[in-house]
């Protein structure tokens, strides 16, 4: 079974309504060899906050060095998002393998009139994947209730109930107390249940099991949000009987402080993590679509609150910000209490009622009626992407745009920031000065016959509209659902520059959220096939050369050569003379097996070198994954931070923003960095693009302009040699991120694939430098500056530069 067949099969299971009971899931797990017996499990139940708590706990565990499986629901777009190991989505091939193995059992159950639900199957797949990955702990977000939820097939070592409110009353009971008692059944046998519940719900839970309470002053663990560190982070204090911690938390609100407290107790119960480790984990926790700030001019927030209790919490969060007008894009499922949700919101100036592509979604007209008396102006818009575009377009810089009511709506709105237009053409350009003769080409320009190709994931109606317009003007549009996540269509656009500009103009007026694609398309066509020199930290119209200066005793190539200050300065001056545009100073080796370096030692190695080089007429970069080192070196005169861990230190993005510096974000799967750690990819370029885009969004959120963010696909870091070569071959596709692109390929072990040992890697390095420059890389990071600078100058000359 191919991945797209597996994804379609899972989607077909969504037609079956939720049900309670463990037998079906147990039978499927037995078919797979009962993988649940091999893992320590944590279950997290609750009416609100269970997903946030699961993400916080996952971050804390991983900060503590544990391998962690995380199962959450619902997804935003791709079913793979729900099943993660160490933060990475389940690979496409692995999902297809598991569905193929499980399908005979599912069909047997269907024949027995015991058809599994989508959630039961996905729970089974997650448990099996975590077992095969040999994770240290698996974190399971409960679906409905607790007693008979599919996740309760495991025997947890720890569990929590975050909160309790009226929900799923037809399944769980008519009162808060009944629902609380049901959720309390996730309690482990060997530890008290951790809960943020209060009032009657807490009393009911106490009647079922021993508890550790988290919340206000009367709780066993006091968790409080005590101020905002910035627009996107709050400060939390968590105090237990004999322990306490303080941390910054990127998830805002008093309720998130309670969730962080619950996660902290679980982290101590399961792994005995120190308070410092937990605090660092809290600061690194993110949860897309949960009061996610995507813009501040105007303020744009995506929040999946989907019941009255969550809507009331959302009102309090919105009230923290000063704004002129409030624009609300609202969509919800039919079974939700829309009236109470809308009544909970602050005063709304303009409401845009809409519906996501979901059969359970409420009609925009019905939702519009609930805003009568609650909004000055009400618009009914057919699609979430278009409603989001209109709300942002009509908002003034000091306004607030809120997309809420359903995670399905948030997912479609978030496409505006996550769905990329990826260039797929790698052919050589026609001559810039060519003049064609003959009747057909008498007045043709090069652009008029030079075809461009782009790939995008679009929703079905969007793809249909784009195809109609492009084919009407002689272009080509290919569409396929094969390989597309969720409800997307793989859409390939092919046309000349004039055709694609005409298409951009046409779809800008079509609605359905296509205005953003129009902007992406115009920017991509105007930029041309390649755009070296787009990084504003260097002044060059060709691919820039970043020279590597390791001031370490143990780097894989030049360790110990430049760890004296005079030698480092001499080598830097030599690199500048050889043509380096940037000098990258590194004080910690990332080679396999390298000893970790303390912050203090790394600063002692790097800062004196940066200070000594600050007078050079060249950009200075520091290669570090530690925010404290970055802070010290930027203060000493560095211009750029080259973070090979991809923002693993949650403070890094804020430090770079505070210094108004540039940031290189490299794709890597392990922290501390382990370049030899093997990771399974479906399409390595597509997977790395997705993960780098999320990192870029985090950096932007902290206040770093995209023009100052450089992305590095991370050749050799968690990639097999063939995958590293593919990243260089397809480097032009990373231009879809709208950032300068750097390739770090110099003298790496990937060249063993072509028979080059450690002392024989200059020639293949130069070959890939030429390829990267020709493909449009903005920067190459190299050890041998003179030779590589000659290569990029040659490529520039070949291209008319």
b/e map of 734-760 (b: 16 or more CB within 10 Å)? bbbbbbbbbbbbbbbbbbeeeebeeee
Report which DSSP code applies to 731.
G
Residue 544, φ and ψ in degrees, nearest 5: -80, 155
Half-sphere exposure of residue 143, counting CA atoms within 13 Å on the CB side?
A: 24
Residue 3 in tokens:
């991945």
Q: Which of 55, 653, 708, 748 is catalytic?
A: 748
Closest by CA to 640, choosing from 591, 590, 580, 697, is 580
353 close to 379: Cβ distance less than 8 angstroms = yes
In whole angstroms, give the CA distance from residue 180 to residue 145: 8
Residue 71 in tokens:
């199962």
DSSP string over 55-77: HHHHHHHHHTT--EEEE-SS-SS
Catalytic-residue membership of 355: no
* Burial of residue 372 (number of CB atoms within 10 Å: 0-12, 13-18, 19+): exposed
In whole angstroms, give the CA distance from residue 654 to residue 739: 19
Report which DSSP code applies to 17.
P
Catalytic-residue membership of 183: no
DSSP strand pairing (476-480 vs 544-550):
unpaired
Angle at 790 between CA 785 and CA 796, to 5 degrees: 125
E strand intervals along 486-595 = 488-496, 544-550, 582-586
Closest by CA to 247, choosing from 232, 221, 226, is 226
Question: CA distances (Å), 210 to each of 80, 165, 206, 239, 271, in order?
Answer: 35, 20, 6, 20, 20
180 close to 201: Cβ distance less than 8 angstroms = yes
Alpha helices in 80-237 (DSSP H): 92-111, 118-132, 169-172, 176-183, 199-206
Residue 212 in tokens:
């550790």
Residue 576, φ and ψ in degrees, nearest 5: -60, -45
In whole angstroms, give the CA distance from residue 800 to residue 168: 66
Residue 433 in tokens:
């000065």
Question: CA distances (Å), 473 to each of 467, 495, 520, 755, in order?
Answer: 10, 9, 19, 50
E strand intervals along 272-369 = 292-296, 299-302, 326-330, 348-353
E strand intervals along 354-392 = 375-380
Closest by CA to 339, choosing from 291, 253, 405, is 405
In whole angstroms, give the CA distance from residue 385 to residue 507: 13
Closest by CA to 302, choosing from 708, 705, 697, is 697
350 close to 377: Cβ distance less than 8 angstroms = yes
48 close to 309: Cβ distance less than 8 angstroms = yes
688 close to 717: Cβ distance less than 8 angstroms = no
Closest by CA to 48, choosing from 318, 258, 207, is 258
> What length is written for the chain?
801
* Burial of residue 428 (number of CB atoms within 10 Å: 0-12, 13-18, 19+): exposed
Q: Which of 94, 336, 419, 781 is catalytic?
A: 781
Element (H, E) at 403: strand 400-404
Closest by CA to 524, choosing from 606, 425, 422, is 422
Task: Supply the residues annotated as catalytic.
Answer: 748, 781
């Amino acid at each position: 079974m191919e991945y797209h067949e597996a994804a379609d099969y899972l989607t077909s299971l969504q037609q079956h309504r939720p049900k309670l009971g463990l037998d079906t899931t147990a039978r499927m797990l037995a078919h797979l060899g009962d993988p649940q017996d091999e893992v320590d499990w944590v279950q997290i139940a609750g009416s609100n906050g269970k997903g946030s708590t699961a993400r916080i706990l996952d971050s804390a565990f991983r900060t503590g060095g544990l391998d962690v499986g995380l199962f959450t629901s619902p997804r935003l777009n791709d079913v793979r998002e729900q099943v993660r190991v160490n933060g990475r989505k389940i690979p496409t091939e692995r999902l297809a393998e598991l569905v193929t193995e499980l399908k005979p059992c599912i069909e047997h159950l269907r024949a027995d009139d015991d058809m599994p639900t989508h959630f039961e199957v996905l729970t089974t797949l997650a448990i099996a994947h975590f077992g095969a990955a040999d994770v240290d702990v698996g974190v399971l977000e409960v679906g409905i209730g607790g007693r008979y939820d599919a996740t309760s097939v495991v025997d947890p070592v720890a569990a929590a109930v975050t909160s309790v409110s009226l929900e799923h009353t037809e399944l769980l009971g008519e009162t808060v107390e009944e629902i609380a008692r049901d959720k309390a059944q996730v309690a482990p046998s060997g530890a008290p249940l951790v809960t943020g519940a209060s009032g009657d719900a807490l009393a009911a839970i106490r009647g079922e099991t021993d508890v550790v309470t988290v919340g206000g002053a009367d709780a066993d663990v006091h968790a409080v949000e005590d101020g905002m560190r910035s627009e996107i982070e709050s400060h939390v204090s968590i105090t237990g009987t004999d322990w306490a911690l303080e941390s910054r938390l990127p998830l805002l609100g008093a309720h998130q402080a309670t969730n962080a407290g619950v996660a902290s107790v679980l982290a101590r119960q399961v792994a005995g993590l120190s308070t410092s480790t937990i605090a660092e984990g809290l600061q690194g926790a993110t949860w897309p679509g949960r009061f996610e700030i995507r813009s501040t001019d105007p303020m744009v927030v995506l929040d999946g609150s989907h019941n009255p209790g969550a809507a009331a919490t959302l009102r309090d969060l919105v009230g923290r910000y000063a704004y002129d007008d409030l624009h609300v894009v609202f969509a919800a499922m039919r079974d939700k209490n829309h009236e109470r949700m809308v009544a909970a919101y602050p005063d709304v100036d303009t409401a845009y009622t809409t519906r996501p592509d979901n059969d359970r979604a409420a009609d925009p007209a019905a939702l519009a009626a609930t805003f009568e008396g609650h909004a000055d102006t009400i618009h009914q818009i057919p699609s979430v992407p278009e409603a989001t575009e209109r709300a942002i377009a009509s908002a003034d810089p000091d306004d607030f745009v809120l997309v809420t009511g359903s995670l399905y709506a948030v997912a479609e709105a978030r496409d505006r920031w996550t769905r990329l237009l990826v260039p797929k053409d790698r052919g050589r350009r026609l001559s810039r000065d060519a003049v064609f003769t003959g009747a057909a080409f008498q007045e043709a320009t090069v652009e008029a016959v030079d075809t461009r190709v782009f790939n995008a994931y679009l929703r079905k109606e969007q793809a249909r509209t784009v195809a109609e317009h492009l084919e009407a003007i002689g272009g080509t549009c290919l569409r396929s659902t094969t390989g597309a996540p969720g409800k997307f269509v793989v859409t390939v656009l092919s046309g000349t520059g004039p055709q694609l500009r005409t298409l951009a103009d046409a779809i800008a007026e079509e609605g359905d959220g296509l205005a953003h694609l129009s902007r992406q398309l115009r920017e991509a066509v105007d930029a041309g096939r390649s755009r070296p020199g787009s990084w504003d930290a260097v002044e060059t119209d060709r691919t820039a050369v970043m020279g590597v200066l390791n001031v370490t005793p143990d780097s894989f190539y030049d360790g110990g050569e430049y760890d004296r200050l005079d030698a480092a300065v001499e080598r830097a001056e030599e690199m500048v003379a050889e043509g380096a545009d940037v000098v990258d100073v590194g004080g910690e080796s990332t080679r396999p097996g390298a000893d970790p370096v303390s912050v203090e030692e790394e600063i002692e190695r790097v800062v004196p070198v940066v200070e000594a080089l600050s007078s050079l007429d060249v950009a200075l970069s520091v290669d570090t994954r530690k925010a404290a080192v970055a802070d010290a070196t930027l203060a000493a005169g560095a211009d750029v931070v080259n973070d090979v861990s991809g923002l693993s230190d949650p403070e890094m993005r804020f430090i770079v923003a505070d210094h108004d510096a540039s940031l290189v974000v490299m794709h890597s799967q392990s922290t501390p960095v382990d370049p030899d750690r093997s990771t399974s990819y479906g399409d390595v370029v597509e997977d790395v693009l997705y993960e780098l885009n999320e990192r870029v969004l985090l950096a932007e959120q902290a206040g770093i302009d995209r023009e100052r963010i450089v992305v590095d696909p991370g050749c050799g870091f968690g990639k097999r040699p063939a995958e590293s070569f593919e990243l260089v071959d397809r480097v032009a596709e990373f231009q879809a991120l709208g950032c300068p692109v750097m390739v770090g390929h110099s003298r790496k072990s990937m060249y063993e694939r072509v028979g080059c040992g450690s002392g024989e890697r200059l020639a293949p390095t130069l070959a890939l430098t030429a390829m990267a420059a020709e493909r449009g890389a903005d920067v190459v990071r190299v050890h041998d500056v003179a030779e590589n600078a000659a290569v990029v100058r040659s490529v520039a000359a070949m291209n008319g530069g």
